[in-house]
């Protein structure tokens, strides 16, 4: 039985070897905790084992995996994962690099890049409002993830970059992040606030003196002028952000940019994946299919009495054999349940290629664990 096949005919139809053969960007999206980070790292390792130079851009990996990959204390810098050939006769080994997204450093880099001068950049970097804004994780991760992706690709050091996305409820949150930021910076409202046509101080400035004075006295800080400075400088970078937003949009639409969804074998997770896919289908992007991760797999055709008999023979203890057989039956029940779920999902309109990945015996927290996962992600290579 191949790794992705189940006896009742629910089989994998997504072949990553051919789907990703030519990919330059692989985006993995999906709900929280379904295994996006693990799958991204596993696919990255599989591609590196096929001789490609791979970088996995990850967001908040589980601690043990981060440590095993050498990410401990390193944010925003690519780290190379040492790879031994997986077999003694030696598969070709490319390169596997991982980088953990640090939203604040990515923002700092952007400010340095788009500011008019190093002095202007420094002014923003020291700005109180900027520090709060760039350090806040929610919302800015979506933007910085695509930003960082762009930067990694532009360096030319890798053949393929995998993007492990933050667990967003809506895939568009992060696809549209650069465009949204640019639209905001470019918005009439912000312009009006900061740059009135007739050389005044802007709505924020006009009559704000009393308010600012009060705030300053109450808080001991000149918050409003920090705010104005912050938005003033960001607004001045609007053109740069606009260009970047268009570049990112073009990158997402490239034929060599491939989207994969990851889901768990639970009705809510599969429904969520179907909703994601529906949103993606209206866009100019290349959706390759769904990875259903952590499936319970079992040999379903074996007859229960035979299993019990074999266990009794092997264990020489009827009571223990009875309990083991009960456990075995429970696993088979779960496997039947998982298979029925996938079959129902596949029968629904909008049929898509799926890759079935089993629940492994242990958490995946190091390179050997990722290698075991890779056997299921690329089963044809066997
Ligand atoms: N096929 C699998 N078999 C066994 N354990 C797995 C498998 N896939 C993932 N895991 C484990 O599940 C946990 C969650 O996986 P992971 O961190 O990749 O999820 P995620 O979707 O990235 O989560 P988040 O949404 O929080 O970023 C990890 O401990 C990982 O080792
Ligand atoms: Mg994750």
User: Which protein residues have their CB within 5 A of the ion that is ligand 2?
Assistant: 36-37
Whole-number Å distance, alpha carbon 41 to ligand 2 midpoint, is 10
**Mean pLDDT: which of 2-11, 214-223, 358-367 is highest?**
358-367
Nearest CA to ligand 1 atom 11: 363
The CA-based angle 31-76-374, given to 5 degrees, is: 50
Per-residue pLDDT reduced to its tens digit, 37-47: 999 999 999 99
Whether the CB-CB separation of 261 and 154 falls below 8 Å is answered with no
Q: How far apart are CA 14 and CA 255, in angstroms?
A: 17
User: What average pLDDT does the segment 133-144 reach?
Assistant: 69
Q: Ligand 1 pocket, 365 CB below 6 A?
A: yes
The pLDDT score that the predictor gives to residue 261 is 93
User: What average pLDDT does the segment 307-323 reach?
Assistant: 86
Model confidence at 342: pLDDT above 80: yes
Indicate the pLDDT class of residue 197, thresholds 50, 70 and 90.
very low
Whole-number Å distance, alpha carbon 261 to ligand 2 midpoint, is 13
Percent of the chain exceeding pLDDT 90 equals 32
Q: Looking at beta carbons, which pairs linking 303-310 to residues 24 or more positions away fall under 8 Å?
A: 304/329
Q: Ligand 1 pocket, 360 CB below 6 A?
A: yes
The pLDDT score that the predictor gives to residue 110 is 82
The pLDDT score that the predictor gives to residue 269 is 92
Nearest CA to ligand 1 atom 8: 35
**Structural domains of the chain sorted by starting position, each given as residue range(s) with its CATH number in brackets:** 16-302+351-381 (3.40.50.300)
Q: Ligand 1 pocket, 106 CB below 6 A?
A: no
User: What average pLDDT does the segment 142-160 reach?
Assistant: 89
Per-residue pLDDT reduced to its tens digit, 248-278: 888 989 999 999 999 999 999 999 888 888 8
Nearest CA to ligand 1 atom 6: 363
Q: List Cα–Cα distances, 328 to 61, 312, 338, 349, 356, in angstroms.
A: 33, 13, 15, 34, 21
Indicate the pLDDT class of residue 113, thresholds 50, 70 and 90.
confident
The pLDDT score that the predictor gives to residue 289 is 94
User: What average pLDDT does the segment 354-368 reach?
Assistant: 93
Whole-number Å distance, alpha carbon 18 to ligand 1 midpoint, is 25
Q: Ligand 1 pocket, 47 CB below 6 A?
A: no
Q: Ligand 1 pocket, 35 CB below 6 A?
A: yes
The pLDDT score that the predictor gives to residue 2 is 42
Model confidence at 199: pLDDT above 60: no
Whether the CB-CB separation of 20 and 258 falls below 8 Å is answered with yes
What secondary structure does DSSP assign to 280-298, as a single string? HHTSS-EEEEEEEEEE---
Least confident stretch, 38-47, 62-71, 276-285? 276-285
User: What average pLDDT does the segment 240-245 reach?
Assistant: 80
Nearest CA to ligand 1 atom 28: 363
Atom of ligand 1 nearest to the CA of 166: 27
User: Helix, strand, coil proportions of the chain in percent (round to 5)?
Assistant: 55, 15, 35
Whole-number Å distance, alpha carbon 247 to ligand 1 midpoint, is 31
């Amino acid at each position: 039985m191949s790794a992705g096949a189940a006896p009742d005919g629910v089989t994998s139809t997504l072949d990553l070897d051919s789907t990703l053969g030519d990919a330059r960007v692989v985006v993995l999206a999906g709900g929280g905790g379904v295994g996006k980070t693990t799958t991204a790292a596993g696919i990255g390792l599989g591609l590196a084992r096929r001789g490609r130079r791979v970088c996995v851009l990850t967001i908040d990996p589980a601690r043990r995996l981060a440590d095993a990959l050498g990410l401990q204390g390193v944010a925003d810098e690519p780290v190379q994962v040492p790879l031994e050939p997986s077999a003694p006769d030696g598969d070709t080994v490319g390169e596997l690099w991982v980088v953990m997204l640090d939203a604040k450093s990515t923002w700092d880099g952007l400010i340095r890049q788009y500011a008019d001068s190093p002095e202007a950049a420094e002014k923003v970097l020291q700005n109180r409002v900027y520090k709060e804004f760039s350090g806040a994780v929610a919302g800015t991760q979506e933007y910085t993830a695509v930003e960082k992706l762009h930067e990694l690709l532009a360096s030319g050091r890798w053949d393929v970059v995998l993007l492990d996305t933050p667990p967003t409820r809506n895939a568009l949150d992060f696809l549209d992040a650069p465009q949204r930021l640019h639209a905001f910076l470019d918005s009439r409202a912000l312009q009006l606030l900061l740059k009135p046509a007739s050389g005044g101080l802007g709505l924020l400035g006009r009559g704000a003196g009393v308010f600012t004075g009060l705030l300053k006295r109450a808080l001991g800080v000149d918050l409003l002028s920090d705010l104005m400075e912050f938005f003033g400088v960001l607004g001045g970078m609007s053109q740069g952000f606009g260009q970047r937003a268009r570049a990112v949009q073009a990158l997402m639409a490239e034929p060599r940019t491939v989207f994969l969804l990851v889901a768990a074998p639970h009705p809510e997770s599969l429904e969520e994946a179907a909703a994601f896919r529906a949103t993606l289908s209206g866009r100019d992007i290349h959706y390759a299919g769904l990875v259903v991760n952590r499936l319970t797999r079992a040999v379903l055709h074996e007859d229960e009495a035979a299993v019990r008999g074999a266990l009794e023979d092997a264990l020489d203890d009827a009571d223990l054999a009875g309990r083991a057989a009960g456990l075995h039956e429970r696993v088979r029940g779960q496997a039947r349940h998982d298979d029925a779920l996938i079959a129902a999902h596949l029968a629904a309109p909008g049929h898509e290629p799926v890759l079935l990945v089993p629940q492994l015996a242990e958490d995946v927290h190091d390179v050997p664990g990722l290698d075991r996962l890779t056997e299921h992600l690329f089963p044809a290579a066997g």
